Amino acid sequence: MSAGLGRNYLDYNASAPLRPEARAMVIEALDAANPSSVHSEGRAARAFVENARRALADLLACNPGEVTFTSGASEATATALTPHWLLGGNPVDHARLAVIETDHAAMLAGGHFNPEAVTMLPVDSAGRVKIEVLREWIEACSSAGPAILAFSLANSETGVLQDIEAIATEIEGHDIRLVVDAVQVVGRMPLSLASCRADAVIISSHKIGGPKGVGALVLRDTGTRPYPLIPGGGQEKGRRSGTEPVAAIAGFGAAARAASFDLRNDNGAMAAERDAMEAHLRGALPDLVVLGAAAPRLPNTSAIAYPGLKAETAQIGLDLGGFAVSAGSACSSGKIGRSHVVAALSRAGLNVDADHGAIRVSIGRETSKDALSSFADAYIRLAMRARESRTETSGRAA
């Protein structure tokens, strides 16, 4: 992905630029045969798929057999969020589902659960789930039968990390399956299937620099899994039918190998550059709000709001100035609307205007200090204009 001449791409949480390693692997695998065929050409195609599966397993420190390829994170989410699972190979129906109110739209949709069976758990002003409300839901589930708790480990708009250890500890000993959307975390922070303590983990290719149109559902125990969303030919060991997109999967694997290398050589520079940018902004704009600043966050993400500056206005102004940023999650066909994340944080007590919203800056290891410094200067100019306009309006009203 090229930001174009004179432009700075700061929207990695929407989609990371395609890694050169992934592009090369996609091209190499484009002419691959059907990986289910038993002839030499089919076996060569199968090798692309299985090599990628091993790369993802290495990235998540799990067994390759626990990785099931899907068309993306949305499909993986829809697959996991079904009442119908196999537990130890035996069919079990789940009566309830809980999600977190700031999660991705695919999670909030509730999958195949009836809407009345879905509980949206509120967050505090930092964006972390309220543990006392989670406990109430767990208690209510004790008499209702098996349940599923599903949430995003990192919020896509603010980068806020949920306390996976505390949440997993709360549900321990209860008949509750844990589904974790790790789309924004994988490749940016070390993460293992064991540390998630989840029954199923959702990941996506294009968030780590692989091609779009492929993701995975990673299972802690293949005997404990959701019924397949797409039945049919029995590919992916019967967990997801349909001929595997060999080139996309191969590119996903190449991106996973590159991400593993990045994590092994991480020196904390990305978080330091993000923090320096926020300090630059706060120095000029004392009223700036950094959403989720009171909680642990992804090292690459900053969501900011300034009184009187609408997110839409800021995004358009920054785009004209050569900066690609987001006014929320990129899942609404290009629409700019009221962020449900900002609204939830506002309800929880964060001093932020839910109607004006916030913009998200999300960076990668390739992002330069100069790009972030230039972005901060451009945002400060927009905020100053908004402040002057607000002052003029107040003066006329007086």
Beta pairing partners, 361:
302
Q: Which of 62, 141, 196, 331 is catalytic?
A: 331
Q: How far apart are CA 78 and CA 84, in angstroms?
A: 12
15 touches 207 (CB < 8 A): yes
Catalytic residue at 62?
no
Distances (CA, A) of 12 to 184, 185, 302, 364, 373: 9, 12, 11, 6, 17
Element (H, E) at 346: helix 340-347
Tokens 């959403």 map to which residue?
A: 291
Name the residue among 375, 373, 390 with its Cα closest to residue 287. 390
220 touches 66 (CB < 8 A): yes
Distances (CA, A) of 118 to 54, 83, 141: 35, 11, 12
CA 185 to chain centre: 7
What letter does residue 117 receive in the DSSP assignment? G
Question: DSSP letters along 168-190, please?
Answer: HHHHTTSSEEEEEE-TTTBTTB-
Q: Strand 359-362 vs strand 323-324: parallel, antiparallel, or unpaired?
A: unpaired
| Total Cβ atoms within 10 A of residue 4 | 10
140 touches 111 (CB < 8 A): no
Active site residues: 331
